Amino acid sequence: MSRLASLYQSSLGKKFIVAVTGIVMIGFLVGHVAGNLKIFLPPVDGGPGIGMQPDIDYYAHYLRVIGEPLLPATAFLWVARIVLLVSIILHVICVMQLSTHNTSARKTAYAARKYSRATPPARWMMYTGSALLLFVVVHLLHLTFGAFGGGFEHGKVYHNLYDAFNNVLWVAFYVGSIGIIALHLYHGVWSLFQTLGFDNPDRNRNLRRLAAVLSVGLFVGFVAVPTAFITGIAKAPDHMESSEVAAHQQVGNDVENEEKE
């Protein structure tokens, strides 16, 4: 325990914690965007008593029952949430402590700041990080707990997304917030490579490209969801269900006709 405490108290240890918790959060973002993109898949049969439902609703239900019957319902989901929450808390605390340490280490303030080597995303990390933290809180209240009212229904993810993203103000808020996340992520991934010792003059350009591709890819993936709803590409829940039922009825009729022939 004393070694862990010593590691945490050192600047190097804090940077390592920031890097590891950053990896956890990046993994969550990748998994989250992959789940969100299920709005573009056709409805699936949820089984007896459930019937046809949007693919993303089926996916959300699966997350709640992973590990059953060995684990209680939602146990896996809560473990993942706790790991993510602890990662966010440690990430924020360590970043703030490092920032405070760096500021106090300067005996005199700079007469004029020089940003010849620091990119804009690097200079804005504290601001984008604060905005990101605010977004996480609003996002959870909005689409997890339904705190902002409207037509929110627990367990009906597609319905809630459709209800939220037919409001242009919510679309603007989410698109702007995701843009901030992408800026934060770009420099964050690059810093992660540096902290873990992957940076090298021979491969730094490719590492920066990888950071850019990851941040832009996540931006496009997340923005695709509100854009699809506000433009009508993603259909209303009732329309999806009725069209899918009609398709199944047509298949049933075709099979029946073939049997008669």
Tens-digit pLDDT string for the chain (261 aa): 677 777 778 888 999 999 999 999 999 999 999 999 999 999 998 777 667 899 999 999 999 999 888 989 899 999 999 999 999 999 999 988 888 877 766 555 544 445 445 566 677 788 888 888 999 999 999 998 899 877 899 889 999 999 999 999 999 999 999 999 999 999 899 889 888 888 888 888 999 999 999 999 999 999 999 999 999 999 998 766 544 444 444 444 443 444 444
In 41-86, DSSP assigns E strands to 44-45, 52-53
Q: Could you give the CA distance from residue 191 to residue 210 in angstroms, rounded to a whole number?
A: 12
- Look up the pTM and report it: 0.82
Structural tokens at position 158: 């597609």
Cα of first residue to Cα of last residue in the chain, in angstroms, is 78
**pLDDT of the residue at 245:** 43
The three-point CA angle 69-157-174 to 5° equals: 130
Q: What is the residue whose two structure tokens read 């789940």? A: 35
CATH topology assigned to domain 10-100+122-252: 3 helical TM bundles of succinate and fumarate reductases (1.20.1300)
Alpha-carbon distance 126 to 124, whole Å?
Answer: 6
